[in-house]
């Protein structure tokens, strides 16, 4: 899991605005790359939620 998230930092352009994540894919991004971007962000959100649940 963490390796995918760390890899995403190398190529995934994103910006957080308050509680919103804005994606900034390249104009030449393929459908597969967009799906991978969404999967990586989803995995990151799930990881954070799991960590938050363990802290309670």
Query: Among residues of the chain, what percentage have pLDDT more than 90?
Result: 5
Number of H helices, E strands in the chain: 2, 2
pLDDT at 1: 46
30-38: average pLDDT:
87
Number of alpha carbons in the 13 Å side-chain half-sphere of residue 36: 14
């Amino acid at each position: 899991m963490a390796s995918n998230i760390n890899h995403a930092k190398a190529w995934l352009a994103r910006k957080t605005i308050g509680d919103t994540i804005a994606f900034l894919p390249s104009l030449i991004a393929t459908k597969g790359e967009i799906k991978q971007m969404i999967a990586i962000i989803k995995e990151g959100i799930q990881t954070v939620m799991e960590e938050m649940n363990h802290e309670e």
